[in-house]
Each structure stands twice: as C-alpha cells, then as structure tokens.
Amino acid sequence: MFLEDKIKLIKESEMLPKPTLKMLSEKYRIGKSTIGDIMQKKSTYMFFSVKRM
C-alpha cells in the first residue's frame, strides 16, 4: 500500500459518519489489523505526506 493510499484511508476514517474497520478493510482490500496499524502510525504518515509536497 502506497503512502497516498494510506493518507486516503486515514482521511476517510475521520469522516462522519465514521466508517467501521470492516467497511474500510473491504474497500481497501486489507485486513482490519493492518488498518489498525496504519491508524497507530497516522501522525508519521501525515508528517511524511506534508514533507513530500
């Protein structure tokens, strides 16, 4: 999964109504635990996405 995909997932996870892990895992075709890992490292991914611009 590329950084851009992770940023999209993070932004989508913060939308209202809040999507479930199951919904996100089905959309991005990754496991729920992988989504949890991405969310734990959210600040790191957001930092690097800003630095790339």
- Where residue 53 falls among pLDDT bands split at 50, 70, 90? low
pTM of the model: 0.86
> What local confidence, expressed as pLDDT, does residue 48 receive?
86
Best CATH choice for the domain 3-52 from the list 1.10.3470, 1.20.140, 1.10.10, 3.90.380: 1.10.10
The C-alpha angle with vertex 52 and arms to 16 and 27, in degrees rounded to 5, equals 35
Q: In whole angstroms, how far apart are CA 21 and each of 4, 10, 31, 33, 35?
A: 19, 11, 9, 9, 7
Residue spans of the domains in the chain: they are 3-52
Chain segment 9-47, per-residue pLDDT in tens: 999 999 999 999 999 999 999 999 999 999 999 999 999
